[in-house]
Structure 1
C-alpha cells in the first residue's frame, strides 16, 4: 500500500504513465551490439537477468532484449566487461535506451559503469555513462535506468550490411570438421577483416547446409572470398562444397564454388586457404590468372639476405594474401645483383594493381636486404606492373624497417600537366516545360583552377524533356571539381523577347584521364539570357573517385604515433605491441611498435614512434594489440594519436580500456575509432 501511494511499482521503480507504444508488427530486424561494464566496488556484480529496450521516434520501441550471459558464466562480475549481440526491430534513429534487470533480492544489486549500444547497419555507436546502482536497496532504489541519447557520446563506426550465408559441406567420407573456419570477403569497394564462422554445435557436418547471418562491410558488389582453416580440433580436415551469400537489403545472390578439401593431408592441393571468385547469374566476377613475380636485389654491398621474404599484392579486387617467396629460379635466393623469379598459377586476378607490401622475418646470419624493385606480371592481362624500392629492409640500416609498401610506377604514366578532357552530362527534368531549343554554358570550379566558359551547343535536338546529353571539352587540369556555374543563352546572341527557362535536373562531370566522377544535383530553372550575365551555381554533392586516381595518391608518408599508457595500477606491459591503421586508401598492415634502448608502455608514460607507409588518406580506425608475452602482459591503454607528417593532420583514437586476458572482457586487442 505504501509503495502504491508513493507511485512506485513492486520493484521499487517509479511507475510510468500508461501510454500507447508504437510497436512495429512487421519491419526490418537488425542486430544491436551491447557492451556492459560493471563497477569495481564490493558486491558490484549481479546474478539477475539483464534487459535493454531501445526507443526511437514516435515511441517506436523494440521488445525487451534479454542480455543472457554465455554458457559457463552465471553473473556480471565486478570489474568485467561483457559483449552481447541481440536482434530487434529497427526503430530508426535511437532516442532513448532503457537498461534494467529482473532481480529483487539483495544478491541482485548491480553497479553499472557504462553501457554502449552499437548499430552496425547505421554505422554508429552510442556510449552512455551510468556509474550508479541498479538495486532495490542501494542508491535511489531503482532497478532500471532510462538513458537519453543526448547524454551519450557518439562514434562513427564501420557501416555493415547483413548477408545470409549458406555453407555447404560436401558428401564425402570424413567431410565434416571441428576446426575453426575463417572468412574474408572482397568487394568492388573494399574488403572485410577476417571473420570466424560460429560453430554452434553440429555445424559443418557431412552433406549439410548451415545458414547464418553475417555482418559484412558495405563493399558490394562482391568479387571474391578467402576461406581459411586453422586445422585445430579432433577433425581438422574439411571438404567445402560451396558457399552462397545473399544481401538481405538488395537480394543480390553470390555463389562461391570450391568442391575440394581444405586440409594439410587430404586432397590434391594440401592447402589450408582457398580463394573463390563470385558467380552472379552464371557470370564470373573475377577471372583466373598466373602472376609472375620478378624480384631484383640491388647492386649494393651486403644487399643480399638470408631471411624469409614475403609479399602481398593489392589491386582493384582486393589482395593476394601473403605469398611466401620460396621457390625461385635461383637456388640461392635474394643475392646481390640477382633477379629471382617466382610463379603463382591459378590465382584470382586483382585487375589493375595499386601497391605491394614486402617484408622479411629478419632471420638468418645476414637478414638485412637492399631491394631495387619488384615486377608483377598478370599473364591473363599480359601486363607488367613495376614497384620501385631502392631501399634497405634492415633493422640496422636506413629507418630500421623490415617492411616496405611500394606504389605502382605504371600510374605515373598519366600526365596531367597538359590539358585534360572533361565529359559533361546534363539531364533535363521531366516536367512539360523543362526543355529548351537554346544553348547552355558551364564553368567548372576546381580546387586547383577555374575553367573557361564551355558552350553546350544545342544541336540535333538536345535538352529535350527527360533526356541526358553529353558534351566533351579540353581544359587545363582543374583538380577536384567543387562547384559549377550554369547559364542559359540564346543562339547567335539574339535578344530575349519573353521569359524562358531550361529546367536542368542533374549534371555529372567526368574527368576522362582518371575517371573521377562529380555529381551536381540541380533541379532548377536556368533563366534564358542574351549575355552570359545570368547563371546559377551548384556545389558537388557526391564524388566517385576512380581506382586510378586513388593509386596516384599512394605516396610514401611518415606517420607519427603517440601512445599513452594509463595511470592505473599495473597499467604498463612487457608484451610486444602492434598497430594496424585503416584509411580510405587501404590499410598499413600489422606494424610492430618498438624502439631500441627504451622501456616502452610503462604506467603513465607517453611513447612516440615514426613509421613510413603509403598515404592512407582519411583515417577510419586503428587496431591495437599485444602478444600477451612477458611477465606483466596486461596493459591499460589510454589513447593513440596518429599524425600524418605530410599535412600535419592529427587523428585521436580514445581507448581507456584494458588489453588484458585476466581483466575486463579478457581481450588483448582493441579496435578504436576517431574522436574529432
Structure 2
C-alpha cells in the first residue's frame, strides 16, 4: 500500500506480501502495516486462560483489542488457537494479537475468563491482565465485555496464594460511567429486602471527583416496587466515603411513579463501502421506543467498516420504533456514509435485533447536506434459546410488525419549512440557525438550517428561505423552537414567521413571531401555531 500526502507530495510505503484470507497463511483477514523503514515490532504471544469452574467454556466468537501508549490494535476476532476446541475449561489459547468480549451468538456462550497474558519477546516482559469473572448475560453482573488493566508479577503470585486479587474493569469513556447491573451481592443471597443493607463491588477506571449517581430497576418480578433509603459509595482510591440520600419509592404505583430500568444493548454500526465513507467526527445515537428515549453520546471514530458497542442503556421497550443518528461535523474528515445500524436487545434467553437501513451521506458537502438522520426499522429478528439448547430464529418485516406491535404512524415524513425574515433595517442574520419541531408523536430533535432550497445566501432582509427536513411522523405539530448561536458579526435577527408543511399529509402549520432574536433580549423562541394563519394571531414565548 502506498499513501501520498497531497500537500507535500511525501510518499509512504507499507509493504505486506502476506495473505488476508481465512484459508491461507495464519488465517487473519486484518493486518497492521508499518511504514517502510520503521522498526517492526516483534510478534507478541497472547494467552487467554479460561477459568477452571463448571460451565466456564464458551462456544461464542471472542474479540480482543489491545491498547498502548501509541494506539491500539483494533478489534480482532480470536480465530486460530493451538487448541482445536477453543475456550474450554482449563485450556490456554495462544495467538499474536485489551478489551475482550464475546458476541453471545451460540447456545453455550457464557464464559468464565481467568486471565490474559501477553509476552513482549523483545525485552522478555510479560503483561498480566487478571479477570476472574464471568462474561455472560445470566451470570455475575450480566456483562459480556470486560476491559482489563495490567498488573505486575508480584500481584499475580499474591493472587495464586489466595491473598486477594481481582480484575479491574475499564469503562467505554473516561469520566462517564455506564450503568452497571447490581447482580452479585457480597452479604445477602436475596437482595434488596426490607431494612437490609446490600454491599456490591463496582470496578472502574478513575472517574475523577464523584458528583452524582443514577440508580433504577427493570420493574420485573412479582413485587418490583422498591423504597430506596440511601446509597453509600466507598472510594478507597480517593480516601472518600460518600452518601447519596434518596428516601423515595422507585415504583410505578407509588410516589411519582418513576423508576429507571437498564438493559444491555449491542449496537452494530455499518459504514458503507464507498470512497471517503468513514468519519472522524463524534457520532451520537438516540433510541426511541414504547417506554421512553435514551441517548448514546460520542460513540467513537467510525473509520472501520463495522463497529460493535456493548453497553447498558435505559430500557426503551421491546420494540425500538426509530433512531436518530448524527455527528458533530468536527474533524478533517467529518463526512460519513452510513449503511445501516443494527441494535440488539440482549435478553436472558435470547435477543431481539432491529435493523435500521440508511444508505445515505451524513455530510455537509454531500447529498442534502444533513448531518442528522432519523431511521425507521426494516426488519426485526427474534432469537430465543429453547430448552434443548437450540436457537430459534424468527425474522419479521416491519410492515407485518407494524400491524401487531408498532404504532401505525411510524413512517418517515418530509417537512418543508419556510422561514421569513422581517423586511426592516438589518433584519437579516449571518449566525447559524437551529430548529426543533414538536408533534404529539415526537419531535425532530434540533436541526441546523444549513442549506436553503431556494437561496444561496440565507436569512436576508425580506427573504423567505425554504428547507427540507426528513423525520419520523410527528403527528399533529403543536410547537417549534427556533434559535441562533449568536455567531458572526451580524447575528441579530428579526424573524417574521415560520411555516411548516407536512408534505405527506399536506397539512400546514403557521408560526408567527414578529420579534428580534438578539443577545441581551433573547436569541431563541418557542412558538405555538396560529389557529387562523391568515387572520393574525399571538406569539407565546416560553423562557
Q: What band does the TM-score fall into relative to the shorter chain?
A: 0.3 to 0.5
> Higher Cα Rg: structure 1 or 2?
1
Query: Which structure is higher in strand share?
Result: 1
Tell me the TM-score normalized by structure 2: 0.47
